[in-house]
Structure 1
């Protein structure tokens, strides 16, 4: 796994409305909605502290600390490594075909072995009685 290179912090729509114009200079638009890209975050209190690298009017890089209530944050995503950050469709590797189970495996069309076929039909004397026995003692004596 690569080193963490940044975080994208997403807010609830109500939070963006409540923060109004003050948050807009820090927001970036993306396929998943507006978010703030920051280099560090601290979620250890009632406020989430976000460290943002920005440029001042002279073009110098400055480090800003932006703090908002934790309850305004919907999700935080970490961006790792050199890969591009985003939520677009991923181009994945083709799914490999599975190898056969083994050289002795039966084909899928083989008949199931779990249910044996009846060799001889059952006669009434072989059918067990249905229902409770008449007595709990010895079996009845033949007359």
Structure 2
């Protein structure tokens, strides 16, 4: 699932936050649904999920896109929406 005009909201199982939380801190957000990841690209690559974040989707002085890979067994839920309707998916 990719698309330049889409945004993805990703929830992890508690085990994922427990094991990866420190590494994911620059990418994590908090909202009414709890802690989540909000990214520009989401793609399953074998046993991993590839997540690409824009600088606006990260904390800190990052000025280029960043991609991380997370084991698929940590993914609990994913929602996607066009950038025009990103608030409608409930993550932001």
Q: Distance in 2 between matches of 1:19 and 1:43?
A: 18
Residues 1-143 of structure 1: pairs in structure 2 closer than 5 A:
4-54=5-55, 57=61, 61-83=63-85, 84-87=87-90
Unaligned runs of 5+ in 1: 89-143
Matched length: 84
Report the alpha carbon displacement of residue 54 of structure 1 after superposing the two structures with TM: 1.4
Structure with higher Rg: it is 1
Report if the CA contact (8 A) 1:10-1:73 is conserved.
Answer: yes
What's the offset of the Cα at 1:6?
A: 0.6
Give 4+ residue runs of structure 1 displaced > 2 Å after superposition. Answer: 85-88
Could you say which structure has the greater relative contact order, defined with CA pairs below 8 angstroms and 6 or more residues apart?
2
Q: Which has the higher strand share?
A: 2
RMSD of equivalent CA atoms: 2.2
Alignment gaps of 5+ in structure 2 = none
Q: TM-score, normalised by structure 1?
A: 0.52
TM-score calculated relative to the size of structure 2: 0.77
SS of aligned partner of 1:21:
helix
Q: Distance in 1 between matches of 2:13 and 2:26?
A: 17
